[in-house]
Structure 1
C-alpha cells in the first residue's frame, strides 16, 4: 500500500530517533508484533503511532477551544484523542495475536492429526506443511504453513530452523509445543512418529475439554436465563393479579 508506506516513511523521519527510547523504557513491541504476525519493524511501528497521534492533535485543540468558549462538554471525550490513539496502537498487536491464536486453535487438532499420520507414513512435517498450504478448509493452518515455506524457499532457511522459528513466534501454546517439541525430538534423535502421535492426542483431549467447558458455561447461562424468565413471569402475574383486585 503506497499510502501506508509513505506514512511509515514520514513518521520514521520525524520520530525515528524517539522510537528506540520508547521501546527501551516504556513498551517493547517486538514480541507482540511477531506474535501478531504484523510485518513491521518495532521502531517504525512506534514512529507511526506518534505520527498518527500528532495528526489527531488539532482535533483535541479544537475540542478544548469549543469547550472553553461554548461550554459544549460532550467534546471533552475528544481532548485525550492522541492518548486514545497510542493506546489503540498498543492494543492492536495484542488483539491480533489473540485472534491469530484463536483461529488456529480451532484447526490445530485436525492439522496435528494430519501431520502425525503423514509422519507415520514416512513423510516429514515440512512436506505435510507444504500440502496443508494448499488446503482451503484450514485457512489459519494454511497461512502458518505458507510462512514456513516462505522462510525455506525464499530466505534459504533449512526446514527445521523454519519450523522452530514458527513455533517461537506464535501466540498459541499448543502450536509452539507441537512444533518446538518436534524440532527438539529431531535434534536429540528421538522417536518423531511417537511424539507427533502423542501430541496430536493431547491436542484433541485439550480441545475436547475446552469444548466441554464451553458447553457447560452455555448450559449454565441457559439455566440462568430460564430462571430469570420464570421469575419475571411470576412477578408480572402477581403484579397484574394485585392490580385486578384493587381495580
Structure 2
C-alpha cells in the first residue's frame, strides 16, 4: 500500500535514530513480529509507533485545554491517548501471534498424523509440507507450509534449515517441538519415523486432555448455573408466599425483582 509505505518512510526518517535504542533498552519487537508474521523491520515498526503517537498528541493537548476551561471530566480519558497508541502497538503482535497459534493448534494433530504416516511410507516431511500447502481444509498449516517452501525454493535454504527456521518463528510450542525435534533427529541420525509417530501420538493425547478439561469446566459452570437458578426460583417462591400470607406490602418491589430475574 503506497500510503502505508510512505507513512513508514516518514516515521523512520523522523524516529529512525531513536528506534534502535528503544529496541535495545526498552522492548524487543523482533521475536514478537516474527511470531505474529508481521513483515516489517522492527526499527520501522517502532518508528511508526512513535509517529502515530505524535499525530495524536494534539488531541491530548486539546483535551487538557478543554478540561481546564470547562471541567468536563470525560475528556480526561483522551489525555493519555498517545500512550494508548503505544500500548496498542505493543499488543497487536501479541494478539496476532495468539490468533496464529490458536488456528494452528486446531490443525496440528491432523497435520502431525499426516506427516508421520507419509514418513512411514518413505516420504520426507518436506514433501509432506509441499502437499499440505495445497490442502484447503487446513488453512493455517497450509500457510506455514508455504513459508517453508518459499524459504527453500525462492531463498535457496536447504529443507532442514528452513524447517528449523519455521520452528523458531512460530508461536505454537507444539509446532516448535515437532519441527525442532524432527530436525534434531535428522542431525543425530535417529529413527525419524518412530519420532514422528510418537510425537503425533503425544499431540493427540495432549489435545484429548485439553478437551476433557474444557468439558469438565463447562460441566461445572452448567451445574453452578442450574443451582443458582433453582435457588433463585425457591427464593422468589418463598417471597411471594410470605407476601400473600401476611400482606406486608412488598408487591411493587417483588414484581420488580421478578421481572429483573426473568429478563436477565
**TM-score, normalised to structure 2's length?**
0.92
Whole-angstrom CA distance in 2 between matches of 1:139 and 1:173:
19
1:20 equivalenced with 2:13 (yes/no): no
Match of 1:190, SS state, is: coil
> Structure 2 matches for 1:1-247, cutoff 5 A?
1-247=1-247
Match of 1:135, SS state, is: coil
Whole-angstrom CA distance in 1 between matches of 2:89 and 2:115:
36
Whole-angstrom CA distance in 2 between matches of 1:117 and 1:29:
38
Match of 2:112, SS state, is: helix
Q: How many residues align?
A: 247
Q: Deviations over 1:16-66 (max 9, x none)?
A: 000001011111111111111111111001000001101111111111111
Q: RMSD over aligned Cα, in angstroms?
A: 0.8
Q: Deviations over 1:150-205 (max 9, x none)?
A: 11111111111000000011111110010000001111111111110010000000
- When structure 1 is superposed on structure 2, of 237-246 and 23-32 the one drifting more is 237-246
Whole-angstrom CA distance in 2 between matches of 1:244 and 1:156:
85
How far is 1:243 from its partner? 1.6
Structure number with larger C-alpha Rg: 2
How far is 1:246 from its partner? 2.5
Unaligned runs of 5+ in 1: none
Match of 1:171, SS state, is: coil
Structure 1 runs (4+) greater than 4 angstroms displaced: none
Q: Deviations over 1:184-237 (max 9, x none)?
A: 111111111111001000000000000111111111111111111111111111
